[in-house]
Amino acid sequence: MNPDSRPQGKLLAAQRGRFGLRGGSQALALAPFDMSEVLVIGHRNPDTDAICSAIGYAEFKRRTGLPGAVAARCGETNDRIDFVLRSFGLPAPRFVADVSPKVRDVMQPHVFSVAPPATVAEALGLMDAHNLRVLPVLDEDRRCHGLLSLFKLSQFLFPATHRLIDSRRMLSSVQGVATTLGGELLVAHEAAVEEDLILMIGAMGLESFAERLANYPHERLLVVVGDRWDIQNLAIREHVRVLLVTGGLQVEAKTVEAARRNRVSVISSPHDTATTAALCRASLAVRHVLDEQFLTFREDTPLAQARATALTASYQAFPVVDDDGRTVGVLSKSDFLKKVDRRLILVDHNELSQAVQGAELVEILEIIDHHRIGSLTTPQPILFRNEPVGSTSTIVADCFFRHGVELPPPIAGLLLAGLVSDTLNLTSPTTTPHDAEVLKRLEQVAGVNAREFTDKLFASGSLLTSKSAPQAVATDCKEYVEDGIAFSVAQIEEVGFDQFWRRKDELLQALEAYRGQHAYRFAALLVTDVVRASSLLMVAGENALVGRIDFPELQPGVFELRDVVSRKKQLLPYLTHLLRQAVGREA
């Protein structure tokens, strides 16, 4: 048998490790992070083009050598998006609200732990086997009662000289001592009761032993002795609590019988006296030596926040808990050095203000977009494909065609839906000849008539009918920053304006509340009639800017924008021009 596999071997091995007598650094075990996934994700409050291009581009990347590409979204779908997905039998992209590194990304998910009744010897054995410096003490519900540190255990096992008398005391049960020693319990009297025992070594003459015996309460004494029959018999006659015979020596039957009559428990230890005495103290239950003061983190805590807290704390390790307070991992300070290789591909936007939360903290591999170029910067060169076409779905479809990659009919149908949605079936001023060319090829691959599908698409759902006013003004809303000033522009595509006029007042109220909630200079809502190719503009904001709008004002805060259907190509340049005028006047 390997001596280090026995309780005393593990204890001694852990002691050797404490003093640097064995190789290897001591640390909490680490688990590898899965680096294979790349999220292909659109902007917040995604529209049909963002969802369709994310699914389409993820498919393209998988077919061209990136098997970990996964379509994702950072906002809810709407009725029209759901209609498109149902039409082509495809699921919605995975919902991901935040990609910033979290504690769960670097923590050790496999938690080595002991229960509160476990002995110090058990804990040291586990710490030695897995090279740990800190061990959580968890109950059956995985709630943490405290932490065991190798430093504190070494203080307990190797007390300073001024604490030497305390080293005789041991809080344990007869059964706990026998288990720790790997010994045989020959006489068991109330063996499961935890008691405050006093350790005494019977390594002296009988007379000296008798004198010492008189100095201690016999009912608390645990006497460790070898084959000294005189010492054994005297201890039994004086009714000590436990007689512990070392060396694996046989205890005479008459001695066992006398112990039973005097209600003295007897343990036979297989070890020598010195080893037995050392192991006895390690039979203490860990609940008596744990650190009850500790710091926990939630598994979804942002890593940067946890790092700032942990680096100023004196603790070596931190239990990680879930929403119910159950321990699901352990975090050490060295874990903060681990790199979280989460990677993104952005589609249908290129501004961090519109990106999924935490995008600035992870690696962005590519950007596929058809909007204006914002202020996003990256630490290294990336693939940035930005084209002045009507939709991102046009660019994604072109990737398949240009590289000769097979385009599955359901994906072709999805990209067709994104294209006709963003270009209003090629009627938007953002439409280019390239959009029309790509749409024709998508019709052929998908077997779908674009005009007929467009009619069904825009008839499939009305935001102004199905959503509350706060939801309607936020569903397809994008944030912009111009010269340090933030504002938002939302767009709703409808068939006719009847629903808008019915709900005008509550929409204006919701828009004003949305502006205040995000501290925008102004918030705009463009409601577009896809049949008439015309729009209404609602603006909540400062009079200095709203008063500069020179479109016909039909009612306070509502303007008529004939022949305006594009947020990015028609409305956004106009609004940024007004904003510069207003800011220039303030200056």
- Let me know if residue 167 belongs to a domain: no
Regarding whether 567 and 418 lie in a shared domain, the answer is no
- Let me know if residue 236 belongs to a domain: no
pLDDT at 122 over 70: yes
Regarding whether 398 and 438 lie in a shared domain, the answer is yes
Regarding whether 356 and 497 lie in a shared domain, the answer is no
Regarding whether 133 and 71 lie in a shared domain, the answer is no
In this prediction the pTM is 0.64
Regarding whether 480 and 436 lie in a shared domain, the answer is no
What are the distances in angstroms from CA 44 to CA 99, 182, 455? 13, 63, 26
Number of domains present in the structure of the chain:
3
Tell me, what CATH number does 553's domain have?
Answer: 3.10.310.20
- Let me know if residue 4 belongs to a domain: no
pLDDT at 148 over 60: yes
Regarding whether 349 and 303 lie in a shared domain, the answer is no
Write the single-letter amino acid at 466: S
Q: Which of 459, 478, 508 is the last residue of a domain?
A: 459
Helix (H) or strand (E) holding 386, with range, is: strand 383-386
- Let me know if residue 50 belongs to a domain: yes
pLDDT band with cut points at 50, 70 and 90 for residue 29: very low
Regarding whether 472 and 389 lie in a shared domain, the answer is no
Regarding whether 420 and 564 lie in a shared domain, the answer is no
- Let me know if residue 576 belongs to a domain: yes
Residue pLDDT, tens place only, 214-256? 899 999 999 999 988 899 999 999 999 999 999 988 888 999 9
Regarding whether 362 and 309 lie in a shared domain, the answer is no
Q: Which of 337, 356, 373 is the last residue of a domain?
A: 337
C-alpha–C-alpha distance, residues 6 and 200, integer Å:
24
- Let me know if residue 352 belongs to a domain: yes
pLDDT band with cut points at 50, 70 and 90 for residue 160: low
Neighbours of 384 (CB within 10 A): 15
- Let me know if residue 487 belongs to a domain: yes
Tell me, what CATH number does 123's domain have?
Answer: 3.10.580.10
| DSSP one-letter code for 283 | T
- Let me know if residue 224 belongs to a domain: no
CA 287-312-335 angle, to 5 degrees, is 75
Tell me, what CATH number does 431's domain have?
Answer: 3.90.1640.10
Regarding whether 544 and 473 lie in a shared domain, the answer is yes
Residue pLDDT, tens place only, 365-385? 999 999 988 878 888 899 999
What is the rounded average pLDDT for all residues in the chain?
A: 87
Residue 462 tokens read as 């009305």
Name the residue with tokens 């809502």: 525
Which of 174-178, 284-288, 386-390 is predicted most confidently? 386-390
Interacting residues of 373 by C-beta distance below 8 A, sequence separation 6+: 350, 386
Which residue segment(s) compose the domain that 549 sits in?
463-586
